[in-house]
Amino acid sequence: MAKGWKKKRGSVIQPRVIQKPKELFRAFTLKFDGLSNRIVTPVGITPAFDPKDHPDKMPHEVTQKNALWDTGATASVLTKATVKELNLIPVGTTTVNHAGGSSQSNTYLVNVYLPNQVGIAGVLVSECDDIAGNFGAIIGMDIIARGDFSITNVGNKTWVSYRYPSIKGIDYVEEHNRKAG
């Protein structure tokens, strides 16, 4: 776990690098002691920069935040407090549709660092009000869809696993048919 990040009670984040012949991906698994109704992980965030221009040193300090993984969000979001802490400058505006209707929001370019040591440069995020739940970001489908994401609940224990990049489809029907046949 990255320095300064706290383990969520009842869970363990296990970042690891897995290498297979001709395949390289990074993955993490989050295991809860019981059923979980939300997925929150630590992430790092910086103002956007091109990593190719800074191969040896990061030009910005990484700000560590908890992030809610939300498959219902088409794009990733930062809270106003996170935007302020990072001193981000808006690059535009967008209309955001949410449970309360729709509203205009500033947009910002950031780099996001997932627990599996994957850095994603140039992510366009919008801004939302500070949210109850102790997280400063929402990871939306713009990031989730870049990899493979699964949630299981065997034995009333939630496990969440994510790997990047996406390398193989998961098909539970095919798995069932192979075992039944």
Please give the backbone phi and psi of residue 115, each rounded to the nearest 5 degrees, phi first. -60, -20
Q: Does domain 11-51+60-180 have CATH number 2.40.70.10?
A: yes
CB 157 within 8 A of CB 35: yes
pLDDT digits (tens, 9 = 90+) for 103-151: 999 999 999 999 987 889 999 999 999 877 789 999 999 999 999 999 9
How far is 133 from 107, CA to CA, in rounded Å? 22
- Token representation of residue 140: 């939306």
pLDDT digits (tens, 9 = 90+) for 37-69: 999 999 999 999 988 887 777 778 999 999 999
- How distant, in Å, are the alpha carbons of 65, 162, 164 from that of 11? 17, 15, 21
Q: Where along the chain do its domains lie?
A: 11-51+60-180
How far is 55 from 51, CA to CA, in rounded Å? 6
